[in-house]
Amino acid sequence: MTAAFVAGADASSEVPLKRRLKRAERTRRLKALALILPLLLFLLFTFLGPIAGMLWRSVDDWEVRQVMPHTVAALADWDGKDVPGEPAFAALAGDIRTARDAGTVAIASKRLNYALNGFRTIMSGTARNLKALPEPGTAKDTLIGINPAWGERATWAAIKGASGPLTSFYLLGALDLTRNLDGAIVAAPEEQAIYRDVFGRTFTISLGVTVLCLILGFPVAYMLATLPTGQSNVLMIFVLLPFWTSLLVRTCAWIVVLQSEGIVNDSLRWIGLIDEPLRLIYNRFGVYVAMTHVLLPFMILPLYSSMRSISPAYMRAAASLGASPVTAFLRIYLPQTVPGIGAGSLLVFILAIGYYITPALVGGAADQMISYFIAFYTTETVNWGLASALGAVLLLATLLLAVVYGKLVHGQQVTGGMKN
Amino acid sequence: MSDNHSPRTASQRIAWITTVVVASLVLVFLMAPILAIMPLSFSSGSYLTYPLPGFSLRWYEDFLNSPRWVSSLKNSVIIGVASTILSMVLGTLASLGLAQWKSKFKPLVLAIVLSPVVVPGVITAVGLYFFFAPLGLTGSYAGLILAHTALSTPFVVITVSATLQSFDMNLARAAASLGASPIYAFRRVILPLILPGLASGALFAFATSFDEVVVVLFMAGPEQRTLPREMFSGIRENISPTITAAAVILTTISVILLATLEALRRRNERLKGNLR
């Protein structure tokens, strides 16, 4: 702005005012960009890059291509209708010998085993028993002699399907789909088809938590918005303190409160309602309670701010025109809270579908949400392709909802420290 | 506003009383579990049940004498402070730039800057794990500080941008017209006025890092375990009263952060009131 100021004051110079103003405006814009740029570059390295890398891994198919390059090349124009000819077998025998010497058989067989269960055994057995390169022309018979599976179309189709460089295998797998021998997309075999179930569960739990938060949050927001500011500020502490308390503290607190020797069970037993302790934790009930507790402030705060902006004059006007309190509430008050309900519900839902820590600690095996499986495939079984594909689906769902949320709140400020 | 809840008819009064009762129960639901575990940390017994056999500070002693817990607290503070400083520098610069940048790309840039808040923690953590491992940044303080900075900067940008929005740019123009250089005007005019906003941003950033556990779960080596990370494994294995002591310590820190934030907000509102 200083530049613009100086340019305006200095009218005696020869450059026309219009051009000088334009130049000043450009310097100004460049200066602003220079201030934003460090953060953008930083996020490129610490956030956007990593996420792009994860998305890349969900389609990247490098293992077979790298370990068995000659086989991949020999299969390039195989039509997949019949077992390939001698050249492909010779290439395979050569690749397996090389891979065995380089110690890379396991890399390719791990990938091939995802495509065809049992492939690991085929590969390791062949690598072990193939003592020398077969004589020219005998590769096919030698390999089928070592393992008859080499004489099957499915074995070769698995290699062809895994020969990269890009694959839809993991993304299809994340949606319980697979390709059959002819390359058509079909439903995955039943024992592998678990992810639609997991996505469905993630959706159900998130929706349940959102509805619970709305039911519990609405009266609180209404009370806080209606009470005089002094009183509502004091009561707001009851919302903000849990909001600021560590997620782990709150999860830990629920385990202590709900466990079989916990306060809730003890009180119920003391009253005489139950004889045996109820199972309240490490199941779906515990997940609902703990997640609702953690996410409730994210519902109350946007609801509160939308209710605060509703003038009481509307309700008085409705009453003076003869509306009953119920009608006035339903027809006048409630419609005005819809933006708040929408914003709060979407926020809670977006946060809920990505939850990992709380279900992992208070849920049972059947209550784990999609994030758990992403973490599991990343660190436990090291199936990074599948982990990335599941992550890609979750990311897509989250971003779509976030765009809707952004349109809804229209650049309104976001409150609070998000917790996962 | 206050006359809104003075109901005229009996049915309205009943409706209001019901609302208050239900809302109060929900507020109890929000506070009760946090309050319920606090006394357990002062128990002299080793079971997490009431009634307490007696009062003692043995679990706090246990916490302070355990190298695992103490080093985790130290790690949390190191990573929290370092990532707060870094995100304050990056976030404040970006907010200043965003405040005076007019472009059709601004919503896009803003969306990118704020996206770490929206993206599920596991996705960020997995992405960083893949990306940082070949660079040798997993199992290092540097990697965690960078990751936490990315996660907390959006909160700095949100808070500082909000402060700048309410800042009267004419003051900066006045300073410039009186001959102040841009840097001098920033230091003597802009900075003192936006300082409470910056402080709130810093508190948000610190709280974000201090509470973060998913990225730490993937990226921290045994040397960099933070307090929430240590609590996570503690809860997984077996909840001991030492964990409740850790919970009380964590909550105390949260309360201090919240109280400071609230004080800053009040002060800011008072200042604004004086200006009008």
- Burial of residue A256 (CB within 10 Å: 0-12, 13-18, 19+) is buried
CB A250, CB B232: distance < 8 Å:
no
Q: Is B136 left (phi over 0), alpha (psi -120 to 50) or beta?
A: left
B55 touches chain A (CB under 8 A): no
Specify the higher pLDDT residue, B188 or A201: A201
- Burial of residue A25 (CB within 10 Å: 0-12, 13-18, 19+) is middle
Domain of residue A113 covers 63-164
Shortest distance, CA B208 to any CA of chain A (angstroms): 6
B6 touches chain A (CB under 8 A): no
Specify the higher pLDDT residue, B238 or A107: A107
Q: Give the pLDDT band (50/70/90) at residue A418.
A: very low
Contacts of B232 in chain A (CB under 8 A): 248, 357, 361
Shortest distance, CA A177 to any CA of chain B (angstroms): 22
Beta strand segments in A141-182, E:
177-179
Shortest distance, CA A8 to any CA of chain B (angstroms): 12
The ipTM, to two decimals, is: 0.89
Does A180 reside within a domain?
no
Q: HSE-up of B60 (CA within 13 Å, CB side)?
A: 12
Contact B98 A36 (CB under 8 A): yes
Last residue of a domain, one of A164, A182, A211: A164
Q: DSSP H helical segments within A227-283, as ranges?
A: 229-244, 247-258, 263-271
CB A175, CB A393: distance < 8 Å:
yes
Specify the higher pLDDT residue, A415 or A128: A128
- Cis upstream peptide for A312 (omega within 30°): no
Specify the higher pLDDT residue, A393 or B167: A393
Q: Is the pLDDT of residue A13 over 60?
A: no
Q: Are residues A119 and A222 in the same domain?
A: no
Residue-level pLDDT at A123: 92
B93 touches chain A (CB under 8 A): yes
Contacts of B133 in chain A (CB under 8 A): none
Last residue of a domain, one of A164, A183, A216: A164
Does A173 reside within a domain?
no
- Cis upstream peptide for A165 (omega within 30°): yes
Contacts of A5 in chain B (CB under 8 A): 173, 176-177
Q: Are residues A131 and A200 in the same domain?
A: no
CB B243, CB A242: distance < 8 Å:
no
Q: Which residues contact A250 (CB under 8 A, 6 or more apart)?
A: A242, A290, A293, A294, B33, B34
A371 touches chain B (CB under 8 A): yes
State the average pLDDT over residues A86-104: 91
Does A283 reside within a domain?
yes
Computed over every residue of chain A, the mean pLDDT equals 88
Chain A, 285 to 304: residues with Cβ < 8 Å from chain B are: 293, 296-297
Q: Are residues A264 and A338 in the same domain?
A: yes
For testing contact with chain B, the best of A231, A245, A408 (most B CBs within 10 A): A245
Contact B26 A296 (CB under 8 A): yes
Q: Are residues A209 and A101 in the same domain?
A: no
Lowest mean pLDDT across A51-65, A269-283, B79-93: A269-283
B145 touches chain A (CB under 8 A): no
Contact A228 B239 (CB under 8 A): no
Q: DSSP H helical segments within A309-369, as ranges?
A: 312-320, 325-327, 334-353, 357-362
Q: Are residues A117 and A255 in the same domain?
A: no
CA distance A115 to A182: 14
Contacts of A371 in chain B (CB under 8 A): 120-122
Contact A238 B172 (CB under 8 A): no
Chain A, 192 to 251: residues with Cβ < 8 Å from chain B are: 216-217, 219-220, 222-224, 226-229, 235, 238-242, 244-251
Q: Are residues A107 and A221 in the same domain?
A: no
Does A38 reside within a domain?
yes
Residue-level pLDDT at A51: 97
Q: Are residues A39 and A77 in the same domain?
A: no
State the average pLDDT over residues B153-166: 90
The phi, psi pair for A166, rounded to 5°, reads: -115, 155
Least CB-CB distance to B31: which of A50, A228, A241? Answer: A241
Residue-level pLDDT at B216: 96
- Burial of residue B275 (CB within 10 Å: 0-12, 13-18, 19+) is exposed
The pLDDT > 90 percentage for chain A reads 54
Lowest mean pLDDT across A14-23, A376-385, B149-158: A14-23
The phi, psi pair for A255, rounded to 5°, reads: -65, -45
Contact B23 A296 (CB under 8 A): no
The DSSP bridge partners found for residue B43 are B55
Q: Are residues A292 and A363 in the same domain?
A: yes
Number of domains chain A is built from:
3
Contacts of B97 in chain A (CB under 8 A): 31-37
Q: HSE-up of B176 (CA within 13 Å, CB side)?
A: 16
CATH number at residue A220: 1.10.3720.10
Q: Are residues A149 and A256 in the same domain?
A: no
Token representation of residue B52: 């307490």
Per-residue model confidence as pLDDT tens digits over A153-197: 889 999 998 988 899 999 999 999 988 877 788 898 888 889 999
B218 touches chain A (CB under 8 A): yes
Contact B213 A247 (CB under 8 A): yes
Least CB-CB distance to A395: which of B102, B119, B177? Answer: B119
Contact A32 B257 (CB under 8 A): no
Per-residue model confidence as pLDDT tens digits over A270-326: 888 888 888 999 999 999 999 999 999 999 999 998 898 888 888 888 888 988 888
Does A23 reside within a domain?
yes
Contact B231 A249 (CB under 8 A): yes
Token representation of residue A414: 């976001």
Q: Which residue of A has its CA nearest to B232?
A: A248
CB B145, CB B76: distance < 8 Å:
no
Does A170 reside within a domain?
no
Q: Are residues A73 and A22 in the same domain?
A: no
CB B253, CB B262: distance < 8 Å:
no
CB atoms within 10 A of CB B203: 21
CA distance A135 to A129: 15
Q: Give the pLDDT band (50/70/90) at residue B104.
A: confident
State the average pLDDT over residues B26-50: 89
Residue-level pLDDT at B273: 64
Token representation of residue A152: 């099957």
Residue-level pLDDT at B263: 87
Q: Which of A71, A65, A99 is nearest to A85 (CA)?
A: A71
Q: Is the pLDDT of residue A7 over 60?
A: no
Does A188 reside within a domain?
no
Q: Are residues A109 and A19 in the same domain?
A: no
Q: Which of A92, A67, A88, A86 is nearest to A76 (CA)?
A: A88
Does A175 reside within a domain?
no
Please give the distance of CA A89 from its chain centroid, rounded to a whole number.
42
Q: Which of B251, B258, B200, B250 is nearest to B226 (CA)?
A: B250
CA distance B266 to B275: 14
Q: Which of A296, A89, A87 is nearest to B26 (CA)?
A: A296
The phi, psi pair for A186, rounded to 5°, reads: -130, 170
Per-residue model confidence as pLDDT tens digits over A132-153: 888 888 888 899 989 999 989 8
Q: Are residues A405 and A263 in the same domain?
A: yes
Token representation of residue A277: 């302790």
